[in-house]
């Protein structure tokens, strides 16, 4: 709910020159966003400054304006213009500007026609709508809709606050959306040049937030290839702490999701603020502890190497950020994100639908396959209940290793003998769907495409191009480049019954410069590149609504909410080892729902870490993701192969709870990596699945008592392990006994409410 109230108050301020208190009246417009568990308040002061008043636990008080008096220099420009500098650098601003005395992290920095970089945004007005506006970026040759939350008419409310800078004519429209029944708030902005001269946006953040203290822990999700989104937590300290990406994508190394929590916050208690950027390119998230031990947080497109020219009349769409506050710990914050992503970001046919159990040939064959090999895998897989064969990298051009053919999206008939249509028909005849891999943003130096269009690779003239995996990145800011790739993809998709696409992206951007942009606009390329990717994924998902799209980037380097707008699932990591996956999936689950996590059972010893784990454990860990197989089913041990039908049955039985239910993490794998446990509870609390994984065995008298969560305390639950019946209260307060023998063992237990 959004309310707007005019407030008029009498104050007095000590005037040291006059030696007495001077009375004054302050008027403001107070905007209050109320969600079931949180309140967000903004005040537009008489002077036009837009101040941040409060974000936190719900407080149904319409006048929180007294909180603005917290600063040592209460806002009194009316009676004290001479101290404006102090006011600017201490006041909590809602969308802080650079250049007029606020030296903390700013939300916006704009270069005017004289080269000055100061703006002064003041309040002009507001409106409220119950239709969620789309975020659109107009380009020279097309309009790209940025990924953002959506909602049915009447199911959300959006407040738009308009600010304007008299000096440049720049206008900022700040958008805030609340959703029915959700504790998430979406923020974005549109910056329009209403002046008569070009300006350059040098920085435009999606969210800025001033906290009245610095007593928070800062949580980030860091990693590397095959070890993505590992949680790191530390108390805030003076100065700036930040995470970012300048690689052109979200990256393996960091993720556009961060949390600020109270020091005592854990899964079940304490305060947690989560900030998620709905964007897939360079980003930054910074928490700055300021002089008075308060905190300013900003998040948005990384301003490193960024600028955007705004001609008179043009507008720039600032990507959306999602914020969630929870006073019931980190677990509750995660569940709110899971719901808002499942309901308001993920779209398309597979939004609420079970996904087919797939088998992917990457770890089975790498580049070494042909039609017969794939058909032999499919024959075996279909008998076991696997529903889709995915043909991974290596089917196109003359690709037989990772050193050629990206950009040549025609079938290699030396490998796929008789063509793709014939292969797909054979797979379909086995009762299986067929999926295919593309890496549409890339170009190999050894490709027909590169020989014809060397300038299509992103490059800086006169410099050697840095190769990575022996490939370059296509200039996706150019429509003709995207069109060419898309027409090749369409020829493949129209030629055979393809029901799934894995869209990969296996290197980051270097020597960033486009032959199509003038020298003084090259800093736009990073963002234009991302818009180009969005444009193509948008066209693909519109033209082929029945195809299930899975994004991927060298594993999980593009696991972000931007990509989830196009694909309901993303390959979580190239690391398929069940034990490594515990941390990777736990870190990912802090914000992203299990229904989006690509997780497969692979062969052992694991190809990435060399570890051997039981087949059952691999299954239990993968079944809390999208589930599939990544192995040569014709060559794995017979015992494992024979276990597949029951494993699939188990997945199908539990998948509805995993896909639609609530996740409760029951163990902190980041603090104790010898054990892990979690559960998914159906929304009606009628059933739950509980999974425990014992990483390292312990003496057999050391069973563990794990406290369950999320059950109905008054209800009685029976379990399929020992058929005992206990109340939810006992299982949650006292615990459930886990007695596992040996290393890498797991257990999945089904709890059902007893009648």
Active centre residues (catalytic): 504, 574
If the CB atoms of residues 28 and 597 are measured against ligand GLA, the closer one turns out to be 597
183, 504, 524, 560: which one contacts ligand GLA (CB under 6 A)?
A: 504
Query: How many chain residues bind ligand GLA (CB under 6 A)?
Result: 12
Question: Cβ(236)–Cβ(216) under 8 Å?
Answer: yes
Told to check if 395 binds ligand GLA by CB under 6 A, we report no
Applying CB under 6 A, the span of 75-83, 92-100, 549-557, 609-617 interacting with ligand GLA comes to 549-557
Question: In the bound complex, what is the minimum distance in angstroms from residue 392's beta carbon to ligand GLA?
Answer: 5
DSSP states of 393-415 as a string? S-SBTT-SSTTS-TT--SB-TTT
- C-alpha torsion angle, residues 416, 417, 419, 420 (rounded to 10): -30
Told to check if 690 binds ligand GLA by CB under 6 A, we report no
Computed on alpha carbons and rounded to an integer, the radius of gyration of the chain in Å comes to: 27
571, 664, 680, 717: which one contacts ligand GLA (CB under 6 A)?
A: 571
Number of C-beta neighbours around residue 753 at 10 A: 17
Applying CB under 6 A, the span of 239-247, 308-316, 550-558, 718-726 interacting with ligand GLA comes to 550-558
Question: In the bound complex, what is the minimum distance in angstroms from residue 588's beta carbon to ligand GLA?
Answer: 15
CA distance 71 to 80: 15
CA angle 522, 538, 408 (to 5 degrees): 75
- Side-chain-facing half-sphere of 452: CA atoms under 13 Å: 9
- Where residue 355 falls (left for φ over 0; alpha for ψ -120 to 50; beta otherwise) is beta
Question: In the bound complex, what is the minimum distance in angstroms from residue 402's beta carbon to ligand GLA?
Answer: 6
Applying CB under 6 A, the span of 314-322, 529-537, 547-555, 694-702 interacting with ligand GLA comes to 547-555
Applying CB under 6 A, the span of 15-23, 133-141, 297-305, 548-556 interacting with ligand GLA comes to 548-556
348, 554, 562, 628: which one contacts ligand GLA (CB under 6 A)?
A: 554
Told to check if 575 binds ligand GLA by CB under 6 A, we report no
Question: In the bound complex, what is the minimum distance in angstroms from residue 573's beta carbon to ligand GLA?
Answer: 8
Strands (E), 526-615: 548-551, 569-571, 597-598, 601-602
CA distance 296 to 281: 23
- x/- mask, ligand GLA, residues 431-470, rule CB under 6 A, reads ------x---------------------------------
Distances (CA, A) of 501 to 433, 453, 549, 648: 11, 26, 5, 22
Please report where in the chains the tokens 């969620």 appear, as a residue: 132
393, 524, 575, 662: which one contacts ligand GLA (CB under 6 A)?
A: 393
CA distance 365 to 393: 10
Told to check if 112 binds ligand GLA by CB under 6 A, we report no
Told to check if 29 binds ligand GLA by CB under 6 A, we report no
Residue nearest to ligand GLA (CB): 393
Of residues 429, 356, 439, 449, the one with CA closest to residue 392: 439
CA distance 231 to 483: 39
DSSP states of 32-46 as a string? EEE-SSEEEEEEEET
User: Which of helix, strand or coil describes residue 103?
Assistant: coil
Which parts of 338-377 interact with ligand GLA (CB under 6 A)? Answer: 362
User: Which of helix, strand or coil describes residue 652?
Assistant: helix
If the CB atoms of residues 571 and 690 are measured against ligand GLA, the closer one turns out to be 571
- x/- mask, ligand GLA, residues 164-193, rule CB under 6 A, reads ------------------------------
Question: Cβ(123)–Cβ(318) under 8 Å?
Answer: no
Question: Cβ(86)–Cβ(75) under 8 Å?
Answer: no
If the CB atoms of residues 212 and 392 are measured against ligand GLA, the closer one turns out to be 392
Told to check if 555 binds ligand GLA by CB under 6 A, we report yes
If the CB atoms of residues 198 and 402 are measured against ligand GLA, the closer one turns out to be 402
If the CB atoms of residues 392 and 662 are measured against ligand GLA, the closer one turns out to be 392
Told to check if 407 binds ligand GLA by CB under 6 A, we report no
- Interface contacts to ligand GLA, rule CB under 6 A: 362, 392-393, 402, 437, 504, 506, 552, 554-555, 571, 574
């Amino acid at each position: 709910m959004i309310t707007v109230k005019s407030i008029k108050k009498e104050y007095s301020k000590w005037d040291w020159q006059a030696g007495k208190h001077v009375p004054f009246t302050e008027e403001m417009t107070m905007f209050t966003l109320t969600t079931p568990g949180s309140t967000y308040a903004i005040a537009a002061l008489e002077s036009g400054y837009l101040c941040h008043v409060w974000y936190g636990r719900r407080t149904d008080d319409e006048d929180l304006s007294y909180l603005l008096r917290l600063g040592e220099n209460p806002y009194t420009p009316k009676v004290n213009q001479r101290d404006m500098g102090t006011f600017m650098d201490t006041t909590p601003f809602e969308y802080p500007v650079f250049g007029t005395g606020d030296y903390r992290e700013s939300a916006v920095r704009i270069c005017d026609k004289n080269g000055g970089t100061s703006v002064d945004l003041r309040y002009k007005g507001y409106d409220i709508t119950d239709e969620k506006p789309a975020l659109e970026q107009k380009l020279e040759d097309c309009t790209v809709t940025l990924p953002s939350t959506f909602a049915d008419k009447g199911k959300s409310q959006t407040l738009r606050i308009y600010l304007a800078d008299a000096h440049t004519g720049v206008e900022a429209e700040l958008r805030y959306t609340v959703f029915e029944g959700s504790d998430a708030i979406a923020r974005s902005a549109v910056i329009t040049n209403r002046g008569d001269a070009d300006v350059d946006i040098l920085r435009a953040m999606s969210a800025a937030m001033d906290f009245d203290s610095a007593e928070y822990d800062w949580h980030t999700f860091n990693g590397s290839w095959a070890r993505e989104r590992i949680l790191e937590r530390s108390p805030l300290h003076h100065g700036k702490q930040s995470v970012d990406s300048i690689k052109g994508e979200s990256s393996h190394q960091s993720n556009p999701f961060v949390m600020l929590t109270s020091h005592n916050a854990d899964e079940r208690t304490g305060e947690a603020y989560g900030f998620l950027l709905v964007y897939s390119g360079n980003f930054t998230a910074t928490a700055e502890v300021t002089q008075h031990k308060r905190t300013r947080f900003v998040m948005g497109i990384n301003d490193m190497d960024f600028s955007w020219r705004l001609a008179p009349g043009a507008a720039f769409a600032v990507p959306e950020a999602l914020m969630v506050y929870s006073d019931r710990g980190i677990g509750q914050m995660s569940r709110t994100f899971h719901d808002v992503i499942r309901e308001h970001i993920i779209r398309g046919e597979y939004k609420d639908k079970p996904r087919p159990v797939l088998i992917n040939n990457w770890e089975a064959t790498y580049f070494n396959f042909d039609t017969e090999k794939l058909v032999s895998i499919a024959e075996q897989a279909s008998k076991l209940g696997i529903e889709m064969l995915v043909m991974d990298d290596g089917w196109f051009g003359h690709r037989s290793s990772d050193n050629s053919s990206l950009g040549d999206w025609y079938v290699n008939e030396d490998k796929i003998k008789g063509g793709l249509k014939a292969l797909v028909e054979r797979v379909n005849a086995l009762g299986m769907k067929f999926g295919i891999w593309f890496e549409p943003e890339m170009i190999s130096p050894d490709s027909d495409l590169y020989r014809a269009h060397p300038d299509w690779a992103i490059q800086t003239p006169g410099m050697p191009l840095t190769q990575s995996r022996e490939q370059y990145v296509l200039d996706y800011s150019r429509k003709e480049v995207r069109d060419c790739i898309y027409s090749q993809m369409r020829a493949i998709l129209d030629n055979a019954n393809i029901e799934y696409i894995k869209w990969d992206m296996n290197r980051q951007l270097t020597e960033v410069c486009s032959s199509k942009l003038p020298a003084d606009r090259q800093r736009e390329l990073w963002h234009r590149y991302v818009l180009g990717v969005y444009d193509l994924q948008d066209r693909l998902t519109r033209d082929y609504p029945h195809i299930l799209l899975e994004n991927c980037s060298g594993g999980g380097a593009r696991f972000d909410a931007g990509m989830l707008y196009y694909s309901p699932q993303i390959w979580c990591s190239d690391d398929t080892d069940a034990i490594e996956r515990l941390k990777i999936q736990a870190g990912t689950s802090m914000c992203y729902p299990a229904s989006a996590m690509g997780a497969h059972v692979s062969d052992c010893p694991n190809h990435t870490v060399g570890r051997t784990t039981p087949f059952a454990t691999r299954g239990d860990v993968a079944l809390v993701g999208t589930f599939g197989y990544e192995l040569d089913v014709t060559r794995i041990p017979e015992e494992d192969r024979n276990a597949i039908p029951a494993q699939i049955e188990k997945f199908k039985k539990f998948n509805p709870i995993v896909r639609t239910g609530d996740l409760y993490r029951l163990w902190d794998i980041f603090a104790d990596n010898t054990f892990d446990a979690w559960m998914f509870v159906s929304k009606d609390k009628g059933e739950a699945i509980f999974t425990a994984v014992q990483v390292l065995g312990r003496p057999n008298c050391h069973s563990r008592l794990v406290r369950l969560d999320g059950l109905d305390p008054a209800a009685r639950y029976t379990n399929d392990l020992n058929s005992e019946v206990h109340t939810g209260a006992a299982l949650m307060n006292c615990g459930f006994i886990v007695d596992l023998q040996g290393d890498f063992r797991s257990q999945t237990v089904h709890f059902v409410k007893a009648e």
